[in-house]
Amino acid sequence: MSLEMKVPAVGESITEVTVAQWTKKDGDIVEMDEVICELESDKATFEVTAEAAGQLSIKAQEGDTLDIGAVLCTIDESKAPAGEDAPKASEPASAGAAKEGKATGETVEMKVPAVGESINEVTISSWTKKSGEMVELDEVIAEIESDKATFELTAEANGKLEIIAEEGTTLEIGALICKIEVTDGGGASAPASSSSSGSAASSSSESKETYATGHASPAAAKILQEKGISADAVTGSGKDGRITKEDAMNAEKSAPKQEVIKDKAPAKPESKPAFEAPEIKSGVSRGQNRQKMTSLRKTVSRRLVSVKNETAMLTTFNEVNMGPIMELRKKYKESFKEKYEVGLGFMSFFTKACTMALQDWPAVNAMIDGEEIVYSDYCDVSIAVSAPKGLVVPVIRNAESLSFDQIEKEVVRLASKARDGKLSIDEMQGGTFTITNGGIFGSMLSTPIINAPQSAILGMHNIVERPVVENGAVVVRPIMYVALSYDHRIIDGRESVSFLVRVKQLLEDPTRLLLGV
């Protein structure tokens, strides 16, 4: 009897997938639950396992794009290998009895937790535990990725783990991810002991090359892709030589092999041209490197285009004399650091100035919700941070109520978590106004794009000494250009310009920040 295997449903928004590669060939004999191919969607890569044992007949070739439910392959169960269940029957009865004696009979079903209002699906990045292993309550067993953040999944009970969703699988919120067969405390060490024959079998299986040898897990593949490193150049330390996330993070890109171009004697032209084409020197590369966009990059791209298309975005500019703030920092930065154990940066001055200006001009702190304008009496300031996976925007809550040292500590905390990929969804949601600093990369002037659904964003730039006129005399001052991009549907020119002028006044006379005038 032949079993038809079809493309599984992998999420509400996904209607088609592409066959990335077959790990088995047409006509091969496969075992039940053995990985036979990899499928790719626009959000994730996931593995397909055999639903039965038998002879494989491939219906869709590598590179084919299939709709959900389309026939992927068939398995002839009549040609399943004889004695498939023999290994299970040969397991020591004493070991089985020991496991059954520790089980309580209760099974805990773990489902994908809710991680944010706007997120309806996640991808299994990697499992830190294997199916069949014993886990403890609150122990980290997997890493899960959304299009905004990575977070850890912890065990909800002590017991034996049964993995339902493999690495790379995309699941909806509330979908079943794994089961735990609950045991009492005494059974936790049972899987560690095994007979000598079992040890020999496991060691021989580990030394044997399998499909996993040299194959990168989805999380590792994503890291290698971002680094531009081929999986063939990395040695895997996982089971059967599988490339783990740690292997990918530790991998370094080797120098590209340079292809030597052999010099050929040029044919003598009939008539010598006025200019000859330049000779390409040996070792010069004209190669290209194509990389798939990450889920985070796709989401950022989609949101930026949406903002440009759906808002009436304008940008107004002004310049700020940073001399007073620089003098203040120079005078007090050492004592500030000694007392508060954090440096005194420009971000605290800009955050305080913006929160005071937002309270004077509340439309800049508002947002549109349908046919209503929502005004907030608090200032949750988002700060743009460049992280390894792309731009993220964590939020400083109630920034208007924080002191200079509290703002600086919060900036350091959020930026560190962003660079380590440890930001939670709550830490990136709900801002009312954004500040971005392109000056740290040398930007002189820019028109930042609004962080929807907010209505305005302030762009900081580099500080350059420029000649300015003061009281009829030309003097040199450290000047920064500042830009405010705003949604003209809700913010008029009077409010946007007045807001930026107010920020300029507060920054050029920092005493105003302390006195609140």
Domain spans of the chain, in order of start: 2-79, 102-189, 218-247, 303-515
* pLDDT for residue 481: 95
- pLDDT category, 280, cuts 50, 70, 90? confident
Cα separation of 466 and 476, whole Å?
Answer: 5
Does residue 41 carry a pLDDT above 90?
no
- pLDDT, tens digit, 9 for 90 and up, residues 1-38: 788 888 887 665 677 888 888 888 888 998 888 888 88
Q: What is the pLDDT of residue 83?
A: 52
Query: Which one has a higher pLDDT value, 94 or 69?
Result: 69
Fold classified for 102-189: OB fold (Dihydrolipoamide Acetyltransferase, E2P) (2.40.50)
Q: How confident is the model at residue 508 (pLDDT cuts 50, 70, 90)?
A: very high
User: Quick one: average pLDDT of 198-227?
Assistant: 59
Q: How many other β-carbons are positioned within 10 Å of the β-carbon of residue 78? A: 9
**Cα separation, 377 vs 398, whole angstroms:** 10
Q: How far apart are CA 364 and CA 496, in angstroms?
A: 7
Give the integer Cα–Cα distance in Å for 440 and 86.
65
pLDDT above 70 as % of the chain: 81
DSSP string, 14-66: --EEEEEEESS-TT-EE-TT-EEEEEE-SS-EEEEE-SSSEEEEE-S-TT-EE
In the predicted structure, residue 198 carries a pLDDT above the cut 50: no
> What CATH code is assigned to 2-79?
2.40.50.100
Looking at 67, 138, 488, 509, which residue is catalytic? 488
| Close Cβ partners of 35 (under 8 Å, ≥ 6 residues apart) | 23, 47, 48, 49, 211
DSSP 498: H
Give me the pLDDT at residue 296, please. Answer: 67
Which of 466, 463, 505 has the alpha carbon at shortest distance from 480?
463
pLDDT one-digit tens code per residue, 94-151: 444 334 445 777 888 888 887 765 677 888 888 888 888 888 888 889 888 876 677 7
* pTM of the model as a whole: 0.50
Please choose, from the candidates 151, 213, 164, 175, the residue with its C-alpha nearest in 3D space to the C-alpha of residue 46: 164
Beta partners for 485?
Answer: 315, 457
Q: What band does 312 get if pLDDT is binned at 50, 70 and 90?
A: confident
pLDDT for residue 372 is more than 50: yes
pLDDT value at residue 398: 94
Query: Which of 179-183, 284-288, 354-358, 459-463 has the least mean pLDDT?
Result: 284-288
* pLDDT for 42: 64
Q: Is the pLDDT of residue 85 over 50?
A: no
Instruction: Single out the catalytic residue among 377, 461, 492, 509.
Output: 492
Do 303-515 and 102-189 have the same topology in CATH? no
Is the confidence at residue 363, as pLDDT, over 90?
Answer: yes
Q: In the chain, what is the greatest distance between 2 CA atoms, to the nearest angstrom?
A: 98
Which of residues 403 and 150 earns the better pLDDT score? 403
pLDDT of 469 reads 92
**Would residue 488 show up in a list of annotated catalytic residues for this protein?**
yes
184 flagged as catalytic: no
**Mean predicted lDDT score pLDDT of the chain:** 80
Classify residue 73 by burial, with Cβ atoms within 10 Å: 0-12, 13-18, 19+.
Answer: buried
% of residues, the chain, pLDDT over 90: 30
303-515: CATH topology is Chloramphenicol Acetyltransferase (3.30.559)
DSSP state of 420: T
Question: For the purposes of burial, counting CB atoms within 10 Å of the CB of 193, is it exposed (0-12), middle (13-18) or buried (19 or more)?
Answer: exposed
Specify whether the CB–CB gap between 148 and 119 falls below 8 A.
yes
Where is average pLDDT lowest: 249-258, 286-295, 328-337, 441-450?
249-258
